Structure 1
Amino acid sequence: MENLNNQIFKIMAVLMCSFSCLILAQSDTNTEKQVRLVFNQLVSVYGSAKPQPKLEFVKKEKLPIQPARYSPSPNPKIEIDVALYKICQTFDKDSLNALAVVLSHELTHYYNDHTFCSDYAFANFKSNAELQKKIGQASYNARIEKESEADIKGFFFSAAAGFQPHGLQGLLIEKIYSNYKLADIQKGYPSKQERIVIAKNAENTAAQLYEHFKNGLSALENKQYDVAIELFTKANSQVPFRENWNNIGVAYARKALALKVSSKAEIENPVRFLYPLEVENKSRLLNERTRSLDDTTEEMVKLLNESQSAFEKALQLDPSFYKSRINLACVYDLQGKHNSAIAEITEKLPEEARASKEARRLLAIACYNAYMEEKAEKIWMELKM
């Protein structure tokens, strides 16, 4: 009987151990899944032509000296210590926001080609005395500059991705230093207190830039195009952002559209000739001219050139930003480059984007203006316009 009990006890012990391991494995899997979701959401907002860096997870019994770091070579990657997620969870409802702050900071290092300054709260060469000696004070100042840039852009893109990073930078650094048992002062690297000051100053700057972005959107919606252009330009001063450039292009194009002389076909069927750039075109069609046609044309040309330049800059940052591609096609059509507009839609957009209502509506307008009325009519019929 005693042997039987011992056997049962051993079997139960094995099962409990297996069950515990399974729970731990599931926990790690869920953590990695959550981190990847936040990571991918941030990458989509950065909108860069650079390929997405690899995301790797570090799992060690002892805490590594770096909770998160960007490694530029041999292949660009961002390493995240699984234990960092637990630190972020201590922020409760702000856990994902805290995680986004760290990930976005590291993504800024990657997208801006930073090398020596590549970890969130600690120096990756802290123990290399020879390297410290070579780098010297100039590089120390450069590190502070890059940390500040990563904090500013990291905050901005976190907010742009829909997270709420406000007030988290300094608290995160405090918790990371505490949990990872990092010394407050390390040779060749800002002290903990300096790092917190850098982060808070950067957050104030980034918050103002993001405010410009949001206010620019409101101005654009309210047809205050000059105000919108000024605000988006201010936001772009430190964070060149594809959405900023796209919105600048939209503002210039809408200003140009207000000057456009409407054709008979547009007046008779305004819905068909509503450019994807426009909210509505009734005011444009009813607009009375108070200036000569020559003056209007000259100003419209200038505005469309500015608009084209802005959309091209958005596409330089992210060639797959199809919203700007369609908007650029609108500008080409307004400039009289109807075949170029058609080519942007039919040759440079992937099939899924070509099938969107915005792309097909613009294609119909460009075809009509390029004297392909039958093709335009077919598209409009398909769109039930």
Structure 2
Amino acid sequence: MNRNLQNNLKLSTTLILAFISFFSMGQTHTEKQIESVFKNLVLAYGNSKAAPKLAFLNKDTIKTTPALYTTSPQPTIMVDGKFYDLCRSFGKDSTNALAVVLSHELAHYYNDHTFCADFAFVVRKNNAELAQKLKTVSKSDKISRETQADYQGFFYAAIAGYNPFDCYEKTIEGIYKQYQLPETNPGYPSKAERKQMAIAVKQKTSELYLAFQKSIQLKEAKKYDEAMQLLEEINTYFPSRENYNNLGVIKTLSALDLKVLTLEEHKFPKRFLYPLELDNSSRLNYNGTRGAEADLAKMMQLLKSAQKDFEKAISLDPNYTMAFVNLACVFDLLDNPEAAIGKIKELSKEQQNTNEAKRILAIAFYHADNESKADAIWREIEK
């Protein structure tokens, strides 16, 4: 039988067995563990793009890769059940190693890397059509896409609560050994190159993750300019909904420090506490002179920039309720309470009934000269 035909039949059989395994009654403990890590990672990516399907390759078939992202017939990430056995051999790093590979495949999916979807770089041997397409993608392009997938894979695995930094090298070693992969593959990054990529990615991603944590600390310390600088840098690598939302929040908080307080805000500080503030005591106790033309101009600049950040966060995930509430706060601060009310009305009834949504609605109704509605909402919240 023709060798290519044999390989194609093997791949077809593997895919059929994978879906039989996926649709079989009940899940194994291994599948539940993999699915749990997968869901945590999808949540961390926070992308409006629907998550790909998760399927499991039958443990009794011979595989050449621990995980595989395929676009046809629908976006699917297939995982070899035996790969989890390898992960378990790493002890406390078992879920960390699993997260590294799954997050890498998700990065390919969310970045539309159609022809760099195999973690082990060997799927091309099993499919002549795909092999032909892959020839049109240069090695430098493949390395570029793999580096991007490694960057995002590391970062979002860390955001999801895993520690991918210390287990990557042994994960790579284990994969090459278990799946008997050649150390070099013409047109693809070699094992040595993958390790070099990993070292650089690990170092940079670790720095950026520490910067992400530092930005939160700076925000709490009200060092907004420093926090903004860190988040702007992170956004050049990871333009996620959380990063845009955090950036918008910090800009809005910085703008609030320049806001002139009204008599009502002095009398009822809790009622006029914007949902994105932890408290407004520092604003109330501020004794400096506010309202200078330069301050007002800077406040407007910050708010308009924050508006763009929240709108970007919503474009990445139209179901990101927090960004809707924060954007409503910005609209109200921009003296457009009607837009603030309209933004909250875009949410579902359930989402509109959260305390955060009600708080900004009350403030916006008050500023829209509908004090009766505002007072009714405040009384409801204060019960």
The answer as to whether partners of 2:259 and 2:290 remain within 8 angstroms in 1 is no
Q: Deviations over 1:176-226 (max 9, x none)?
A: 111111222222222222222212221112111111111111111110000
Cα distance change on mapping 1:288 and 1:178 into 2, 3 Å: same
Cα distance change on mapping 1:285 and 1:137 into 2, 3 Å: same
Cα distance change on mapping 1:138 and 1:111 into 2, 3 Å: closer
Q: CA deviation at 1:329?
A: 0.4
Q: CA deviation at 1:137?
A: 8.2
Q: In structure 1, the residue corresponding to 2:155 is in which secondary structure?
A: helix
Q: In structure 2, the residue corresponding to 1:207 is in which secondary structure?
A: helix
Quick check: 292-301 or 83-92, which moved more?
292-301
Counterparts of 1:263 and 1:45, CA distance in 2: 40
Match of 1:273 in 2: 272
The match for 2:367 among 351, 366, 369 is 369
What is the letter of the counterpart of residue 312 of structure 1? E
Match of 2:43 in 1: 44
The answer as to whether partners of 2:275 and 2:356 remain within 8 angstroms in 1 is yes
Cα distance change on mapping 1:252 and 1:34 into 2, 3 Å: same
Q: CA deviation at 1:139?
A: 1.6
Q: In structure 2, the residue corresponding to 1:380 is in which secondary structure?
A: helix
Counterparts of 2:86 and 2:176, CA distance in 1: 11
Q: Is residue 204 of structure 2 the alignment partner of residue 205 of structure 1?
A: yes
Quick check: 294-303 or 129-138, which moved more?
129-138
The match for 1:351 among 329, 349, 352 is 349
Q: CA deviation at 1:29?
A: 1.3
Q: Structure 1 unaligned runs (5+)?
A: 1-24
Q: In structure 2, the residue corresponding to 1:237 is in which secondary structure?
A: helix
For the aligned residue pairs, the C-alpha RMSD in angstroms reads 2.0
Q: Structure 2 unaligned runs (5+)?
A: 1-23
Match of 1:21 in 2: none
Q: Deviations over 1:355-375 (max 9, x none)?
A: 211111111111111111111
Q: CA deviation at 1:138?
A: 5.6
Q: How does 1:277-296 map to 2 (within 5 A)?
A: 277-290=276-289, 293-296=292-295
TM-score by length of 1: 0.89
Q: In structure 1, the residue corresponding to 2:302 is in which secondary structure?
A: helix
Match of 2:3 in 1: none
Cα distance change on mapping 1:26 and 1:166 into 2, 3 Å: farther
Q: CA deviation at 1:44?
A: 0.9
Match of 1:241 in 2: 240
TM-score by length of 2: 0.89
Match of 1:115 in 2: 114
The answer as to whether partners of 1:121 and 1:173 remain within 8 angstroms in 2 is no
Quick check: 282-291 or 80-89, which moved more?
282-291
Q: How does 1:7-86 map to 2 (within 5 A)?
A: 29-86=28-85
Counterparts of 1:63 and 1:89, CA distance in 2: 19
Match of 1:100 in 2: 99
Counterparts of 1:73 and 1:219, CA distance in 2: 45
The answer as to whether partners of 1:65 and 1:122 remain within 8 angstroms in 2 is no
Q: How does 1:82-231 map to 2 (within 5 A)?
A: 82-126=81-125, 135-136=134-135, 139-231=138-230
Counterparts of 2:108 and 2:129, CA distance in 1: 24
Counterparts of 1:169 and 1:204, CA distance in 2: 12
What is the letter of the counterpart of residue 178 of structure 1? K
Counterparts of 1:333 and 1:125, CA distance in 2: 55
Q: In structure 2, the residue corresponding to 1:125 is in which secondary structure?
A: helix
Counterparts of 1:178 and 1:209, CA distance in 2: 31
Quick check: 117-126 or 208-217, which moved more?
117-126
Quick one: percent identity of the two aligned structures? Answer: 45
Quick check: 233-242 or 185-194, which moved more?
185-194
Q: CA deviation at 1:297?
A: 2.0
